[in-house]
Structure 1
Amino acid sequence: MRIKSLQTVVALLVLIGIASPISHAQDQASAKPLSFCYQDIELYPNYTGASEAVPEKDPGILVELVQLVAADAGLDVTFARYPWKRCLALMKLGRIDSVIASFRPERQESMVYPMLDGKPDNRRMIVLNGYYLYQKRGKPPYWDGRQILEPNIVIGAPLGYSITAALKDQGLNIVEAGTTEGLMHMLAYDRLQAVAAPGAAADTLLRQNASDYGGIIKVSDPLKVNHYFIAFSHQFFDKNPSAADQLWQASPMVHATHFERLQTKYALPTGAAANP
């Protein structure tokens, strides 16, 4: 009996010795900061600053939401800024852990979304964002809430965005540009008939530059409303599925608690600059 007991104790000690490094490795993996990539252009109020530098103060609504979600899940987060397509390429290589993105089936090759019954689980979104059509004042409306009324017009849209792919799928004549400001400049000088752009960023741009873009108006009905998620690289998700799930669970709660406050914080009076 003593021999068996001794053998049992030795076996337990061996198991503990094996389990400890595994547990430690898992702790080390979860302790590694989550790397998050976003664009190096200003999309106020979502992202502030137009460079690869991450502002220490007032970085934008979406950056603050990610910080809050990570804190709620007990994770540290680091930020990198690159052109959007480079963020996506780095995600595919596993050199970046996460981005905020709307769901597109082809993106699943390089990123993991919260899914339910084969569809994105909208309950786990971090933010909603509407895309709107902008056109010159005095022109007949090009969008009636259901369809583009003048299918031959030239529409500007952001490079790599889901709205751009959606409009192209309708066979519309789309010109892509890297920034919303560039698109609005083209519209102001009649190089485009309309622009499809994210409403929050485009509205702020028009307010900030009323003298340049005062002739541009927003069509009231959105072209499209997207749910945005924290999406993860396959490499990160395969190693940290529980961490990803914690972040997805925290996302809607953080949105409900903080989004309205952040909107107020970043609200600009007419004519105010985003970066005084």
Structure 2
Amino acid sequence: MPILLTVLAVLTPAAYAKTPKPVAAISSSDATLTFCYEDKQLLPYYAGNSSNVPELPGASIEHLRAAATATGVNLQLVRLPWLRCLQGLEDNSIDALIASVETERLHYTVYPKLANGEPDTNKAFNQLGLCLAHRFDNPIENKINNETEHITVARALGYRAISMPNNASLIGVHSVQKALDLVVSGRVDATTVLCQLNGINAKERYLNLLPVQLMYPPIHQSFGYLMLSNSFYQRYPQLSEQLWNALPKTLDKARYLEYLNVTE
């Protein structure tokens, strides 16, 4: 069972004042990248529930600022409801956002790709993994491995579908907290929780207060990419590539873990 890493660091502005790692073969630019992200808090990525950018903005914003500094790009941050960010990228009024690769977005997004056209995960902005969380006294691994057994998994309504064990049934609930309540009470076998960030096993600190365990390895992992608008990429193709190349070099994995457990 991998060691779970729970970070207890206290966030201060000095904690993230680190010099970005140098990026080879880059040049300064007068280009401005207008980046849109949601006006709701989504830790560890974005902090604050407003259109304002707080002093401690979230790990993804710090990461983006470091990559922009390394490549000489001027960065303009805009906070809007998520669907408006997507609409802005499609109509080229927004230059960039962070999102997963989805079929319905392919016609208006540009992201780093391999020679075969597949997304280049080595240049992804971030990675997350989801694990099944279950009561400590409920041996769901044995149930999953026994095809004659059956397990129930609660997930919040509206979440994107992910692959589940063949003998699992999904139960939709109104919130993540409700799903956890059902697990703790024994009414369902499991739910899904974040359990990995950028390749490091981790969990949100509040889970330590519940009688639940996480089952590794993750049953699902996804990658977020710096999605650029068609207009920005056409105007700055070389600079776009430099930005994507800078992302893995300016990634501070520990900072994401610190933000995972920040308290308001």
TM-score (norm 1): 0.66
Deviations 1:92-140 (A, max 9, x none): 2222211122333443123111111211122222322212222344333
1:187 equivalenced with 2:176 (yes/no): no
In structure 2, the CA distance between the partners of 1:172 and 1:189, relative to structure 1 (3 Å rule), is closer
Tell me what 2:23 maps to: none
Rounded Cα–Cα distance in structure 2 between residues aligned with 1:47 and 1:102: 16
In structure 2, the CA distance between the partners of 1:96 and 1:119, relative to structure 1 (3 Å rule), is same
* SS, match of residue 81 in structure 1: strand
What is the CA-CA distance between 1:32 and the residue it aligns to?
Answer: 4.9
Q: 1:259 aligns with which of 226, 250, 253?
A: 253
In structure 2, the CA distance between the partners of 1:72 and 1:196, relative to structure 1 (3 Å rule), is same
Sequence identity percentage: 27
Letter in 2 for 1:187: L
**Higher relative contact order (CA closer than 8 Å, sequence separation 6+):** 2
In structure 2, the CA distance between the partners of 1:70 and 1:216, relative to structure 1 (3 Å rule), is same
Specify which structure has the higher proportion of strand. Answer: 2
Q: Which of 1 and 2 has greater Rg?
A: 1
What is the CA-CA distance between 1:69 and the residue it aligns to?
Answer: 0.6
* SS, match of residue 139 in structure 1: coil
Q: 2:220 aligns with which of 215, 220, 224?
A: 224
Rounded Cα–Cα distance in structure 1 between residues aligned with 2:30 and 2:148: 53
What is the CA-CA distance between 1:74 and the residue it aligns to?
Answer: 0.6
Counterparts of 1:190-229 in structure 2, within 5 Å, are 194-199=190-195, 203-204=203-204, 206-207=206-207, 210=209, 214-229=210-225
Q: 1:175 aligns with which of 140, 164, 172?
A: 172
Rounded Cα–Cα distance in structure 1 between residues aligned with 2:134 and 2:155: 10
Tell me what 2:244 maps to: 248
TM-score (norm 2): 0.69
User: 5+ residue gaps in structure 1?
Assistant: 1-29
Tell me what 2:40 maps to: 41
Rounded Cα–Cα distance in structure 2 between residues aligned with 1:175 and 1:221: 23
1:238 equivalenced with 2:234 (yes/no): yes
Contact kept? 1:158, 1:197, Cα under 8 Å: no
Rounded Cα–Cα distance in structure 2 between residues aligned with 1:147 and 1:249: 45
Letter in 2 for 1:120: P
Q: 1:61 aligns with which of 50, 59, 62?
A: 59
Contact kept? 1:157, 1:195, Cα under 8 Å: no
Specify which structure has the higher proportion of helix. Answer: 1
Contact kept? 1:145, 1:222, Cα under 8 Å: no
What is the CA-CA distance between 1:174 and the residue it aligns to?
Answer: 6.0
Counterparts of 1:91-130 in structure 2, within 5 Å, are 91-116=89-114, 117-130=116-129
Letter in 1 for 2:111: Y
In structure 2, the CA distance between the partners of 1:166 and 1:70, relative to structure 1 (3 Å rule), is same
Rounded Cα–Cα distance in structure 2 between residues aligned with 1:99 and 1:147: 43
